[in-house]
Copies of this chain bind each other. A is one copy, B any other.
Amino acid sequence: MAKNITPRSNDYSQWYLDIIKEAQLAEHSPVRGCMVIKPTGYALWENMRDVLDKMFKDTGHQNAYFPLFIPKSFLSKEAQHVEGFAKECAVITHSRLINSENGVDVDPDSKLEEELIVRPTSETIIWDTYRNWVQSHRDLPILINQWANVVRWEMRTRLFLRTMEFLWQEGHTAHATEEEAIAETKQMLEVYRTFAEDYMAMPVITGVKTESERFAGALETYCIEALMQDGKALQAGTSHFLGQNFAKAFDVKFQDKDNTLKYVWATSWGVSTRLIGGLIMTHSDDDGLVLPPKIAPTQVVIVPIWKTDEEQQAVTNYAHDLVDELKKAGIRVKFDGRDQYKPGWKFAQYEVEGVPVRIAVGPRDVQNGKVEIARRDTKTKQIAERASVLEIIHELLTDIQYQLFQTAKSRMENMTSVATSYDEFKRILDEKGGFIYAHWDGTAETEARIKEETKATIRCIPLNQTPEEGTCIYSGNPSKGKVLFARAY
């Protein structure tokens, strides 16, 4: 157990914050609720972004950039949207500062005619723009994604999971038909599922949100839900079928092949730096961060060990040769030859930072043509022939990626229960936590009461659920199938 990291069993929330601090991922900023993403954390986000960006482009999307600011009046154009979103946000009212005795003050003469809102999400400004881009069916579909920062004035923040400003991508697509927009919504959900499972090694349940949990302005919100080690769920990504709501609010019509004017169909979908919080809470342990090789900024670190200058020269040459070989094979490898830190300190630091594989090279290894290879997840070590290192590393990275997913998946399965009564439901929640499948009568009232009484919410109506007649655990009324409950972040 690493010093400076609180064990999960003592205080899970503190463990989470300790991991972020010790792995140097992020820290609180002097601006309440905003975070500073440190180089190690940002490198992780860059890798995640690059993989997602390629997946978006491979499915036909292009990136664009829309303004940070939204005129206040835009927010009230889509009635449901403003209900759900517009309330807690950063409002710009002035455009100038003036010198004062205290330093600077806001110039009262610079008051704006119409206030601007820092985007909490960009549907309104984008659909106002799409109006000019769409005349004919030939202009559709529009398949656009934006990488951006957004701001939501959250009162209770937690690094990565919920911050006032966060980084995300938001896809905004426009289609000629309802079917095509729904297909897009589902396609992007599948992109998110693939990314979460195949790259982050984080198993997820795919489903649709209930009406109460739906995105403000959407007809249907699809989501991926992950389960953290403490048994709480995390909404990790959402894909919204927006119907014609925004097209109607912003008057976006097109002339169809049949020469009639029709409103455009819309989707939007997003994932954010919140994913980093999910990643931490899926794999990490009491010794620090554990990263899946596919998105780890550094996959292999090489730490040299020496006493004399002569030894330093020998191990450095030996290691550089290995670095070259691994780099050529496309492995993200780092050599840490700094002499102000001891090998033991480096071992501990890379363990905390979650580097999947560590190679140590000492003078005897050089003589014998060997290296020591240690894996972060299981902490097992092996002595390997120099000639076999590349092959072993390839196998290890593949195996670590696979095992992290399997471990997380088994944990999720073990922490998934079925409750047949409300008492059982509450007992499971308190004793075990995790996902709970239970019958629900389909009403917002029951959903709200369960939430009020237990803090558990319906995470989703799972997509792969087979319809099944039953009785609501709360009201005793008829149910058409089990839904997925959990307490959530």
- Asked if A95 and B88 sit within 8 Å, CB to CB, the answer is yes
In the docked arrangement, what's the CA distance between A379 and B110, Å? 51
B72, A97: Cβ atoms closer than 8 Å? yes
Verify if A70 is at the interface (C-beta below 8 Å from B).
Answer: yes
Interface residues of A (CB under 8 A from B): 27, 29-31, 34-39, 41-43, 45-46, 62-77, 82, 86-99, 102-106, 110, 115-118, 125, 128-129, 132, 138, 144, 148-149, 151, 153, 165, 167, 340
Q: Which residues of B contact A76 (CB under 8 A)?
A: 102-104
Beyond known contacts A31-B69, A76-B102, A89-B96: 5 more, CB 8 A cutoff: A30-B74, A34-B69, A68-B151, A87-B97, A138-B340
Expressed in whole angstroms, the minimum distance between the Cβ of A346 and any Cβ of chain B is 14
Mind listing 12 A-B residue pairs with CB under 8 Å?
A: A30-B71, A30-B129, A31-B70, A37-B65, A39-B63, A82-B103, A87-B97, A87-B98, A89-B95, A91-B97, A92-B93, A106-B115
- Min C-beta distance of A40 to chain B, whole Å: 8
Q: A103-B73, A104-B86 are in contact. Are A36 and B66 (CB under 8 A)?
A: yes
- With a CB–CB cut-off of 8 A, which chain B residues contact A65? 36-37, 42, 45, 167
Task: List the B side residues contacting A144 at CB < 8 Å.
Answer: 39
Cα distance A76–B106 in the bound complex, in angstroms: 12
Alpha-carbon gap, A43 to B62, bound state (A): 8
Nearest Cβ in chain B — how far from A217, in angstroms?
Answer: 15
User: In the bound complex, what is the Cα–Cα distance between A351 and B330 (angstroms)?
Assistant: 37
Contacts of A129 in B (CB 8 A): 27, 29-30, 36
Closest Cβ of chain B to A216, distance in Å, is: 13
**B96 near A34: Cβ-Cβ < 8 Å:** no
Give, as a whole number of angstroms, the nearest-CB distance from A106 to chain B.
Answer: 5
Nearest CB of chain B from residue A258's CB, rounded to whole Å: 16
**Which residue on B lies nearest to A115, using beta carbons?**
B106
Closest to A150 in B: B68
Cβ-defined contact, A67 with B125, below 8 A: no
In whole Å, how far is A382's beta carbon from the nearest beta carbon of chain B?
A: 32
Interchain CB contact under 8 A, A87 and B91 = no
Q: In whole Å, how far is A33's beta carbon from the nearest beta carbon of chain B? A: 9
List, in ascending order, chain B residues with CB within 8 A of A148's CB: 149
Q: Which of A36, A46, A98 has the most CB of B within 10 A?
A: A36
Partner of A90, one of B36, B74, B95, B340: B95
Q: Is there an interface contact between A67 and B165, defined as CB atoms closer than 8 Å?
A: yes
Q: Given A62-B39, A96-B87, does the pair A116, B31 have CB atoms closer than 8 Å?
A: yes
Q: Which of A65, A76, A89, A132 gathers most chain B CB within 10 Å?
A: A65
Nearest-neighbour CB distance to chain B for A248, whole angstroms, equals 16
Closest to A34 in B: B67
Q: How far is the CB of A224 from chain B (nearest CB, A)?
A: 24
Query: In the complex, which residues of chain B have a beta carbon less than 8 angstroms from the beta carbon of A125?
Result: 29-31
Q: Are A95 and B63 in contact (CB under 8 A)?
A: no
CB neighbours (8 Å) of A98 from chain B are: 87
Cβ 8 A contact of A149, one of B63, B116, B149: B149
Q: How far is the CA of A116 from the CA of B29 in the complex (A)?
A: 13
Known: A106-B115, A149-B149. A46 touches B63 (CB 8 A): yes
A91 with B93: CB separation less than 8 A: yes
Instruction: Give A26's nearest chain B residue, CB to CB.
Output: B65
10 shortest A-B CB distances, which residue pairs? A76-B103, A34-B67, A39-B62, A37-B65, A91-B94, A95-B153, A93-B93, A29-B67, A31-B67, A90-B92
Smallest distance from the beta carbon of A414 to chain B beta carbons, Å?
36
Minimal beta-carbon separation of A322 from chain B (angstroms): 21
Determine the distance from Cα of A85 to Cα of B110 in the docked complex, in whole angstroms: 16
Which of A95, A106, A167 has the most C-beta atoms of chain B within 10 angstroms of its own C-beta? Answer: A95
Are A165 and B128 touching (Cβ within 8 A)?
no
Docked-complex contact B103 and A118, CB < 8 angstroms: no
Contact assessment for B86 and A97 in the assembled complex, using a CB-CB cutoff below 8 Å: yes
Q: Identify which of A90, A96, A106, A132 gathers the most chain B CB atoms within 10 Å of its CB.
A: A90
Q: For A62, what are the chain B residues with a Cβ–Cβ distance below 8 Å?
A: 39, 42-43
- B-side contacts of A45, CB under 8 Å: 65
CB distance from A37 to the nearest CB of B (A): 4
Chain B nearest CB: distance from A23 CB in Å?
14
A53 to chain B: closest residue by CB: B46
Q: Tell me the nearest residue of chain B to A137, going by C-beta.
A: B340
Cα of A122 to Cα of B117 in the assembled complex, Å: 21
Set of chain B residues within 8 Å of A92, measured between Cβ atoms: 90-93, 118
A98 CA to B76 CA in the complex, in Å?
11
Inter-chain contacts of A165 with B (CB < 8 A)? 67-69
Contact (Cβ within 8 A) A97 B75: yes
Measured CB to CB, the nearest residue on chain B to A124 is: B30
